[in-house]
Amino acid sequence: MNKANQVLLKEESRIGADLAAWLSVGGGEGLAAALREPGAVIAQIEQADLRGMGGAGFPTHRKWAPVAAAPDGDKYVICNGNEDEPGTFKDRFLLEHTPHQVIEGALIAAVATRANHVVLYVNPHESRALAVVREAVDQWRQHEHISAIEAWLGVPLSMSVVPSSGLYIGGEETAVIATVEGGFPFPRRKPPFPAQSGVHGVPTIVNNTETLAHLPGILREGASWYRGLGLGAASGTKLYSLSGDVLRPGLYELPMGTSLQELVFEHGAGMLQGKEFKAVFTGGPSNTLLTRSDLDVPLDFDSVRQRQSRLGTGAMIVVSEGTSIVRKVAEYVNFFAQGSCGQCPPCKGGTFQLARVLNRIDTGRGVRADLVALANLCQLLPGSGRCGLIDGAATVVQSSLHHFSHEYKALLMG
Ligand SMILES: Cc1cc2nc3c(=O)[nH]c(=O)nc-3n(C[C@H](O)[C@H](O)[C@H](O)COP(=O)(O)O)c2cc1C
């Protein structure tokens, strides 16, 4: 991609906490545009077809509309920067290198929905990102745009930085809300959705860091500019976290809809040691795997969904022929078992049971009945928790059984 078209990873935006530097490259103009016509922001986000980059790809304008429509009073915008899933490393980069872009995005959300609380929720394991964001928020507090926002709201705007628990579950949106309220990161069932009842029961938006980082550009340059950055029907750009068995892993900002083939073989420079591509854990380790026949898939929300998978966060963990799928899946399911908050017995027990059986098979102690047990658990477990953790764990196991049953069978004792 032409660097001029990059929205999030522009060289000049790697300015850390220096607000003046951000403003000197067009920062603040998106927010100023939002303040000129606050009532038009949500329609613009809809025209830009901005989707949530935190996993579900949910249309951002649909999340915001009910909060904007709610009567004036306390409302929250939370930037979700927890990012603890294996293979995803985009939000910490944004928070550390271009925090003002993210904060400006959160302020635009506050203007559009008349929210008077903005919270930057940051993983404390990313200590540099946390320090940079704290400094960046302090700089914004002094800026004239904040007075303009307060004039529009008619009340003071509070801006705070809340360290997350650093746990994987702490990124789930209702756990985010519980943490911001000062509690443990325990998800709760939805509905009510955060837009109806979030922090302390008031309308709340929880958006992923990358989602918010796209906003200043959309407001500054316009929705059709943003749409034009994507390929085919897809809109905008996407940060892809590329890792695994590729020669050049890293964070790539590319047009939304770039093919998996291009990402792996051009940007990632192909497979390590010239090995064959086997599969990719798409959107992180909690989705359906894509395999060699999917290399042509455009990496956008709708196209990946048509292959029965999900773009998720845009994490792409590439696996070569030399790597055991069973071992990878066992590692990830162990992660989910450790990460379950324990409130829902089917999730806590189910993830541990999946992990136990996978570990047994991976270490050559599995029997045929273990495959049946795995398949049964994958049928039983989805939908049994308050949040999506157990669904993700079951999905990746089921998908690996579907595509790579021969690998499982080859590891059985008899
Ligand atoms: C177990 C679990 C962990 C999650 N962790 C994160 C996270 O670290 N960051 C994030 O943005 N979304 C995370 N999500 C998704 C959030 O619940 C929520 O959908 C997202 O923050 C919404 O932002 P978006 O609409 O901008 O995508 C997680 C979901 C689950 C089920």
Tell me: the pLDDT tens digits for 224-244? 999 999 999 999 999 999 999
Identify the residue with better confidence: 372 or 322. 372
Question: Which helix (H) or strand (E) segment is 154 a member of?
Answer: none
Q: How confident is the model at residue 214 (pLDDT cuts 50, 70, 90)?
A: very high
211 lines ligand 1 (CB under 6 A): yes
Ligand 1 neighbour 346 (Cβ under 6 A): no
Please name which of 330, 65, 106 lies closest in space to residue 216, comparing C-alpha atoms. Answer: 106
- Our answer on whether the CB atom of 177 is closer than 6 Å to any ligand 1 atom is no
- Quickly state the pLDDT bin for 94 (edges 50, 70, 90): very high
- 237-244 and 250-255 beta bridge pairing: antiparallel
> Within this chain, do residues 301 and 349 fall inside the same structural domain, yes or no?
no
CATH number at residue 310: 3.10.20.600
Same domain (yes/no): 297, 383? no
* Residue 307 backbone phi and psi in degrees, to 5: -95, 20
* CA-based nearest residue to 408, from 375, 376, 381: 375
Pick from 167, 185, 201, 146: which is nearest to 85 by CA?
167
The answer to whether the beta carbons of residues 102 and 209 sit under 8 Å apart is yes
Structural domain boundaries enclosing 304: 237-320
Name the band, by pLDDT with cuts 50, 70 and 90, for residue 10.
low
Average pLDDT, rounded, for the chain: 95
- One domain for residues 183 and 211: yes
Please indicate whether residue 222, judged by its CB atom, sits closer than 6 Å to ligand 1. Answer: no
Q: Please compute the mean of the pLDDT values over residues 387-396 and round it to a whole number.
A: 97
Residue 15 pLDDT greater than 70, yes or no: no
Note the pLDDT of residue 247. Answer: 97
188 and 277 belong to one structural domain: no
pLDDT of residue 13: 53
pLDDT band at residue 17 using 50, 70 and 90 as cut-offs:
confident
This prediction has a pTM of 0.96
Say how many domains are in the chain. Answer: 3
How much is the pLDDT for 2? Answer: 56
The percent of residues in the chain predicted with pLDDT above 70, rounded, is 97
Question: Which of 295, 320, 345 corresponds to the end of one domain?
Answer: 320
Q: How far is the CA of 54 from the centre of ligand 1 (A)?
A: 5
- Confirm if 314 and 238 have CB atoms less than 8 A apart: yes
> Whole-angstrom Cα distance, residue 232 to residue 214?
19
Question: Mean pLDDT, to the nearest integer, of 273-293?
Answer: 95
Which of 185, 202, 228 is at the close of a domain?
A: 228
CATH number reported for the structural domain that contains residue 354 in this entry: 1.20.1440.230
Does 15 sit in the ligand 1 pocket, CB within 6 Å?
Answer: no
The token pair that represents 388 in the structure block: 């999506």
Last residue of a domain, one of 271, 286, 320: 320
Closest C-alpha to ligand 1, atom 14: 172
Distances (CA, A) of 54 to 112, 221, 227, 315: 20, 23, 19, 11
* Whether residues 393 and 251 fall in one domain: no
Determine how many CB atoms are found less than 10 A away from the CB of residue 189.
10
Task: Write the pLDDT tens digit of every residue in 45-84.
Answer: 999 999 999 999 999 999 999 999 999 999 999 999 999 9
Question: What residue has token string 């069978």?
Answer: 409
Q: Measured between alpha carbons, how far is 206 from 79 in angstroms, rounded to an integer?
A: 6
Q: Give the CATH number, domain containing residue 183.
A: 3.40.50.11540
pLDDT at 5 over 80: no
pLDDT band at 8 (very low <50, low <70, confident <90, very high): confident
3-state secondary structure of 277: strand
Overall average pLDDT of the 105-124 stretch? 98
